[in-house]
Structure 1
């Protein structure tokens, strides 16, 4: 699984599903390795064939609120943002239309939306496309996702996965 690396169980905002690590990430210990590339590399170095590994895409995001307007909300302390099903969790189909600015971490290759108070870390279609490029470059088996109901009515994310793996 290559999502749910960080969520509101952490006291600070962070990337839900970063592709790579970031030197700016304040995480310590094993959490420094909570990203897709490090997870894939851990399997590859232990002899798992690349063709048997898949990248996961969460069709939802992890969110915090009551944040200071610092660093566009990244690595800031807050509380779980309200969500449809549970606090700190919201579907892509809802997040894509929420107000805020989308940012991309140039090192971690992760996206988030921040409105000055609330931070949501989730995969945008552009980031899903980038992750499918990673799948192909690493000769991985493919991709999977959780789950259909989080996508929008047009199937934006599932179509992005499909197109990216062609």
Structure 2
């Protein structure tokens, strides 16, 4: 696969009947849902699940999201959704990127980008990342410096 960055966390998806819209392709909103699932899968693989977020009273919340829909996908196509953490200030913010690839030919069908802000769950206010977040997330951040 021609991944945008090295060593993606891969979340496998296949469009089902309910994912297909009136134009006979995967509805764009489904890609957004898959990105959320892939982000959680990656976080859990790094040792931070929802229970840890609640225990720490902290969460990485989406402050901004953007998606570029490159090619359509259809019912039953095997897709690989890669995700990376691609930037952080080490205190309050991180960036997560996504690349959805069609397994049969390696074509990129969607790219996404989230700007994440650490919040206190109880108040919803921005708060510094706890040491547990820094310990889990910072070592896997890849450079996106040459990217726009």
Is the shorter-chain TM-score for this pair beyond 0.5, marking a shared fold?
no
Relative to the length of structure 1, the TM-score reads 0.28
Relative to the length of structure 2, the TM-score reads 0.30
Counting strand residues as a fraction of each chain, which structure ranks higher? Answer: 2
